[in-house]
Amino acid sequence: MTLFRTLFLVLAVSSLSVYSRPTDGHLRNMDSFICAVQQVEDSNPGLCPLALLRALRRTAGHDDPLTIHFLGSSNSLNDTELLETAILNATSFSFFDKAIHHIVTDHGEERGVVLAPDGTTVALAPLLLGIEMGLKAKIEGEPADGIFPLTLGRNLGLSFLSLQDFPPSHRLGPDGCWDSVDQPKVFKLYRIPTLATNAVISGGMDGAILGTNISQLSASEEPPALSQILKGYYSYILQEGQGLDGVSTHISPNRRETSRSILEPLDLHSQVMKTLALVWKVESTEWIAKDTGVGKAVKDGLQAFVYRYWDCPQIIPRCHWGAKPYQREPESLSLPVPFLYIHHTYEPASPCLTFQTCSRNMRSMQRYHQEDRGWIDIGYSFVIGSDGYVYEGRGWKNLGTHTRGHNAIGYGVSIIGNYTAALPTRHSMDLLRHRLVRCAVDGGMLAVNFTIQGHRQVTSTACPGDAFFSEISSWERFRE
């Protein structure tokens, strides 16, 4: 009787809560999601983060057989957890259901994803499953064996198998565009989706990282609230002059490097095959394992995954930084090109540390190149910020306007800032020197025996600045 009365009181009070506003107008960004989580926590002091995550899973309808195998049913709750779930459902069921439940519509809209502060798009379901698995392992003192299967293994394996007739590169992705990065509500994919869209993979990486971090907390450490876990990873502040060089904790711009360091030692092929076998067992579809092509499909798919999501850096697409259309159809490059030309922007002179600032810088440069210079678009092939990301300019396939007389034979890549007297951050230079270059060579866009040159070597300019030019002159593949 006491529990019933309490639930009735909760339902009555909740009708006056902040969640009584219409849910259809909610912005689909990580900040809004964290705010909603924190409001639930604030209205329920002492709420166990594991119970909250189970309630979120129940709300989104994610009690599939594999999830139940590792995490148990979200309906198997004690009286206290039932009360907590009632609070969640009564106040915010509609919001969390729409925010978390992952689906792609017939019109190519991907739902259950949010725009993170760093400009990337993240699926919430694999993110939350990874955190829940880590919390369960930490609290109950059990191995966190379910982190990889729940965050990445299942989606990767099933995607590889469902599209065996397609090239491996088409068994993953795609990315998409938001209707507005300032007021994001609709995310449309570029092409027909796989089961492992870019957002699902990013959310899976983040879930694997955060789940692993939590599972490795010492016995004396209390797990933080869910909102604090998410804030620490997504709502960081980079220090001027240091950027990612000064970061010692795990944050979202480093998801590719961090997830690789955690997952690559596990033998991914073996882990995906084990995950698939478990999926078929718990779903009573073990006859699928008789398909002799499973092993090859997983091997080919993982090779594409490692190249696309670990070897290559994450590139912020034009639609995310607010690019205007080309003023006329761009010419195509003949690939692979033999040269890589290094620039600094000079103006903007200051390194950009956030997605918002870097995007504003990109729009400013595009406006100058189109309106003042009369070019069809921003001149660079790619631009690198100090926020940890590469920004798409003309891209891999299109002829740029970056190095007079040499545009047809090379890519022009610039780092935002004036590097006459100071160097870019080490992370920004590594993105260019190692990650972007490796991606270009392995993808057949840049010749294996390519040459690096500074802008000043082929035209009359001080670019890329004295300090930066001195640095690149020591890089492998640099030629006078």
- 50 closest CA partner among 228, 227, 225, 204: 225
Q: Are 375 and 137 in contact (CB under 8 A)?
A: no
pLDDT attached to residue 92: 73
Tell me what pLDDT residue 87 has.
54
pLDDT, residue 3, reads 34
- Give CA–CA dist 154/196, Å, rounded: 9
| Residue 176: exposure state from Cβ atoms within 10 A (0-12, 13-18, ≥19) | buried
What residues contact residue 208 under an 8 Å CB cut-off, 6+ apart?
130, 147, 148, 151, 152, 259, 262, 263
Which stretches of the chain drop beneath a pLDDT of 70?
Answer: 1-25, 76-91, 286-292
Q: CA-to-CA distance for 6 and 19, rounded, in angstroms? A: 20
Residue 162: the pLDDT is: 83
The contacts found for 452-457 with CB under 8 angstroms, 24 or more apart, are 452/339, 452/340, 452/342, 452/477, 452/478, 452/479, 453/339, 453/340, 453/341, 453/342, 453/478, 453/479, 454/341, 454/342, 455/341, 455/342, 455/343, 455/402, 455/403, 455/412
Angle between helix 30-43 and 49-60 (nearest 10):
120
* Sheet bearing 390-392, strands edge to edge: 315-316, 390-392, 382-384, 410-415, 337-344, 446-454
Distance CA 362, CA 321 (A): 7
Q: DSSP readout, 174-222?
A: --EEES-SSS---EEESSS--SS-HHHHHHHHHHHHHHHHHHTS-TTPP
Count of Cβ atoms closer than 10 Å to residue 23 Cβ: 16
Strands 176-178 and 110-111: unpaired
Residue 92 in contact with residue 55, Cβ under 8 Å? no
List, for residues 43-88, the tens digit of each pLDDT value: 888 889 999 999 899 888 889 999 999 999 987 655 455 555 555 5
pLDDT at 181: 95
What pLDDT was estimated at residue 164? Answer: 76
CA distance 105 to 107: 5
Query: Cα torsion at 161, 164, 170, 173 (round to 10°)?
Result: -10
Cβ-based burial of 293 (10 A; exposed 0-12, middle 13-18, buried ≥19): exposed
d(CA 274, CA 157): 10
At 19 the pLDDT is 34
Q: What is the Cα–Cα distance from 313 to 253, expressed in whole angstroms?
A: 10
